[in-house]
Amino acid sequence: MSDTARLAFAGAGNHSTQALYPCIAQIPEFDLVAVCDLDAAKAESAARRFGAPKAYTDVAAMLDEAQPAGVCLCGMPDMHHAVGLECLRRGIPVWMEKPPAWDLAGAVELVETAEAAGTWGMVGFMKRFAQANAIAREYLDSGELGPVSSITLMHGAGRYNEFRRMLLFNGIHMIDLGRFLAGEWVTLHAFGAQTSAGTQAISVSFTLECGGVGQLNINSAHTWQDTFEQVYLTGSGGGLHLESGRDLEVISQKRRFAEGRGLETFGWSSRYTTSHNLSGWFSSGHHTKGYWGELRHFARAVLGQVEPVATLEDGARDMRIIEGILQSLETGRSVVVADVR
Ligand SMILES: NC(=O)c1ccc[n+]([C@@H]2O[C@H](COP(=O)([O-])OP(=O)(O)OC[C@H]3O[C@@H](n4cnc5c(N)ncnc54)[C@H](O)[C@@H]3O)[C@@H](O)[C@H]2O)c1
């Protein structure tokens, strides 16, 4: 079996050319065989800069000719949905940026289409691959903290005028990170504020399947230059604090908590910080933030080396929570997440 996966990429706009394509040369398993964008100049520029042999302006033509083993998608939600369905129906696994669709129905259609075609997909929840978040998960898996008793998720970004867009484009990352660390939500109650043009905030209280409780504060009262992200999680007899997926502080009765998966961890009291000593290319953020990790995982999953994670099913679960928050904002009532359609 080959040790590289023949992968194509559709979408060569801002985010993909800044954060995603630059990772590919550093992923040994990722063989970029074709690039597609509706805009020929963007497709050709990305193909030339990132080493794909051919550029296309039509996804179907690319799939027919290049015969990729998997496809990455980075467009707007309607593109993820439509092009995702086209790939999945052909039995081709996809990795797509978030959100997977504009609404829950679209996200569920992707899950069902993948199942029917016997294939699978991943969604770009790179926070699961950010170093400190991954180590936090490893620590939780050690059982040292016991079940999660509470989680607080905070995110501040630049301006948004609509609750739905703020939740779809930024909130979804924190919701997915919250599920990654603390598991499924059961009920939620949301309050919203729109205090001036472009400045809005949503505060959500929720209960967790594991018996704990949580809070989400997502707002557009911050800046785009430097977004704000923190997670505070408690178990029993300790807790952890995450800063932007980069720093992890563990408050624990144990001295050393994890191997760190090759990363340097240090500290001899009860608090730990992941090393900032990540030199060269890695310090530019692509590795730290998780972009490299999510794309490498996709390539390895296509090769059958690992199971897909941050799946289309996760995307649909996150979208169900978003629709639940919007329903609670509209009705002023609590919502049972499993009942949201
Ligand atoms: N995870 C993150 O940190 C992060 C950060 C920024 C953006 N994003 C996501 O990235 C996505 C793209 O954002 P962007 O700012 O790069 O947008 P963009 O508009 O700059 O890029 C999208 C590109 O997709 C192309 N496209 C659209 N339909 C297509 C089709 N059918 N076939 C081929 N190409 C097609 C467009 O021509 C465009 O070049 C968004 O969904 C956004 O949520 C994620």
Rounded to an integer, the average pLDDT of 91-95 is 98
Distance of CA 15 to the CA centre of its chain: 14
My answer on whether 195 and 299 are in the same domain is no
Per-residue pLDDT of 64-77, as tens digits, reads: 999 999 999 999 99
Q: Are residues 81 and 192 located together in one domain of the fold?
A: no
**What is the torsional sign of CA 54, 56, 59, 61?**
negative
Say whether the peptide bond before residue 99 is cis (omega within 30 degrees of 0): yes
Check: CB of residue 81 under 8 Å from CB of residue 121.
Answer: no
Residue 194 forms part of a structural domain: yes
- Work out the percent of the chain whose per-residue pLDDT is above 90: 79
What's the structural domain count of the chain? 2
Supply the pLDDT for residue 135.
Answer: 86
Distance 322 CA to ligand 1 centre (A): 21
Tell me the best of 42, 79, 155, 177 to mutate to test the pocket of ligand 1, counting ligand atoms within 8 Å of each CB and taking the most. 79
Does residue 86 sit in the same domain as residue 134?
Answer: no
Least confident range of 84-88, 178-182, 279-283: 279-283
Using the mean position of ligand 1's atoms as its centre, give its distance from the Cα of residue 13 in Å.
Answer: 5
Instruction: Output the CA angle 88-90-95, nearest 5 degrees.
Output: 35
Residue of minimum CA distance from atom 21 in ligand 1: 13
Q: Are residues 136 and 253 in the same domain?
A: yes
Q: Per the domain annotation, does 335 fall within a domain?
A: no
Residue 170 sits in the same domain as residue 46:
no
CA atoms of 37 and 25, how far apart (whole Å): 20
pLDDT, the chain, mean: 91
* Pocket of ligand 1 contains residue 15 by CB under 6 Å: yes
What is the distance of C-alpha 11 from the center of its chain?
18
Domain encompassing residue 58: 5-119+295-310
Q: Are 215 and 153 in contact (CB under 8 A)?
A: yes
Question: Are residues 95 and 68 in contact, defined by beta-carbon separation less than 8 angstroms?
Answer: no
- Structural domain includes residue 286: no
pTM exceeds 0.85: yes
245, 109: one domain: no
CA distance 293 to 301: 12
Q: Is 201 helix (H, G, I), strand (E, B) or coil?
A: strand
Residue 338 placed within a domain: no
In the three-class reduction of DSSP (H, G, I as helix; E, B as strand; rest coil), residue 248 is classed as: strand
> Does a structural domain hold residue 162?
yes
Statement to judge: residues 112 and 173 lie in one domain? no
User: Measured from the CA of 59, which atom of ligand 1 is nearest?
Assistant: 32
pLDDT at 113 exceeding the cut of 80: yes
Residues 215 and 113 in one domain: no
Assign residue 56 the CATH number of its domain.
Answer: 3.40.50.720
**Residue 37: CB within 6 Å of ligand 1?**
yes
Percentage of the chain lying above the pLDDT 70 cut: 90
Task: Assign 142 a pLDDT band (cuts: 50, 70, 90).
Answer: confident
- Whole-number Å distance, alpha carbon 79 to ligand 1 midpoint, is 8
Higher pLDDT, 187 or 144: 187
Write down the pLDDT at residue 272. Answer: 53
Both 234 and 256 in one domain: the answer is yes
Q: For the chain, list the strands marked E by DSSP.
A: 5-10, 30-36, 55-56, 70-73, 94-96, 121-123, 150-156, 185-196, 199-208, 213-219, 228-234, 239-243, 247-251, 265-266, 273-274, 335-336
**Alpha carbon distances (Å) from 231 to 76, 154, 218, 260, 339:** 27, 6, 12, 19, 27
Residue 283, in any domain of the structure: no
pLDDT surpassing 70 at residue 332 = yes
Q: What is the pLDDT of residue 129?
A: 94
Backbone phi and psi for residue 149, each to the nearest 5 degrees, phi listed first: -95, -30
8 A C-beta contact, residue 101 and residue 95: no
Indicate if 74 and 176 belong to the same structural domain.
no
